[in-house]
Amino acid sequence: MPCLINMLKKNMERMKNKIKIQRAVHNLTQEELAEAVGVTRQTIIAIERNKYVPSLLLAYKIARYFNLPMEEIFSFK
Amino acid sequence: MKNERLKAIKIIVGSFISVTMVLAIISQQIYLGFASVLIGVLFWRLVQKRSKNIVVDERVMIVAGKASRLTFVISTVLSALLSVFLIASGSGSGQIDLEAVGTILSFVAMFNLGLYAMSYKYVEKKYGADEK
């Protein structure tokens, strides 16, 4: 169990995203983005703070909403 | 429906259940307690259905899954340890009541483990971990 948590934490540290920047570019609030991709505002906050790694489906929805390829928004470092 | 309004309704429903439960305990009316919980839960479900807000998403599901696992581990280990302690102390001092409670708790722990194993198999199968 602790091993799994450490593994997840490491993965979360490596995942970076530009959602906040894209939101600012498109002049969107967290609430509006959350509603558009069908999640809660708390989830958007967690993703922006790199505390939660979204599923492939959610990442795809976010990228499609901003009309950008996924690797433009999400990067693995 | 706005999130703030939903939160306010949640607090009101929670308060209603708590107050009615306290009244039910004071007046020793078990049916009042059950009815208050049932009404509160049904009302909350109705509100959730009618509001267009998303209250459950993938992160919430993951959090709920982790919380459930933690609860399972804690409750099973606690009941197993407590059952060993009760059986040992009950048989040592000759108190049959303690031994009986300990035996029941050990069965509860075993039931939890069995149920977990079955649920795990079911969910694993659902998500395609089939070796055939």
Does pLDDT of A2 surpass 90? no
| ipTM greater than cut 0.95 | no
Pairing between β-strand A74-76 and β-strand A15-17 as defined by DSSP bridges: antiparallel
Q: Do A40 and B55 touch (CB under 8 A)?
A: yes
Shortest distance between the Cα of B105 and any Cα of chain A, in A, equals: 25
Contact B54, B3 (CB under 8 A): no
- Report pLDDT for A6: 65
Strands in chain B per DSSP E: none
Tell me which amino acid residue B57 is: D
Q: Which residue of B has its CA nearest to A58?
A: B58
| pLDDT tens-digit series, residues A7-18 | 666 555 578 899
CA B21 to chain centroid, in Å, comes to: 18
3-state secondary structure of A15: strand
pLDDT band at A49 (very low <50, low <70, confident <90, very high): very high
B2 touches A at CB < 8 Å: no
Q: Which of B123, B57, B124 is nearest to A52 (CA)?
A: B57
Q: What is the pLDDT along chain B (132 residues), one digit of tens a residue?
A: 566 787 888 899 889 889 988 988 888 888 888 888 899 889 888 887 787 666 778 999 999 999 999 999 999 999 999 999 999 988 878 788 888 999 999 999 999 999 999 999 998 888 886 665
Helix (H) or strand (E) holding A74: strand A74-76
Alpha carbon distance A62, A64 (integer Å) = 5
Chain A contacts in chain B segment 65-104 (CB below 8 A): 73
Q: Is the dihedral of CA A8, B64, B18, B47 positive or negative?
A: positive
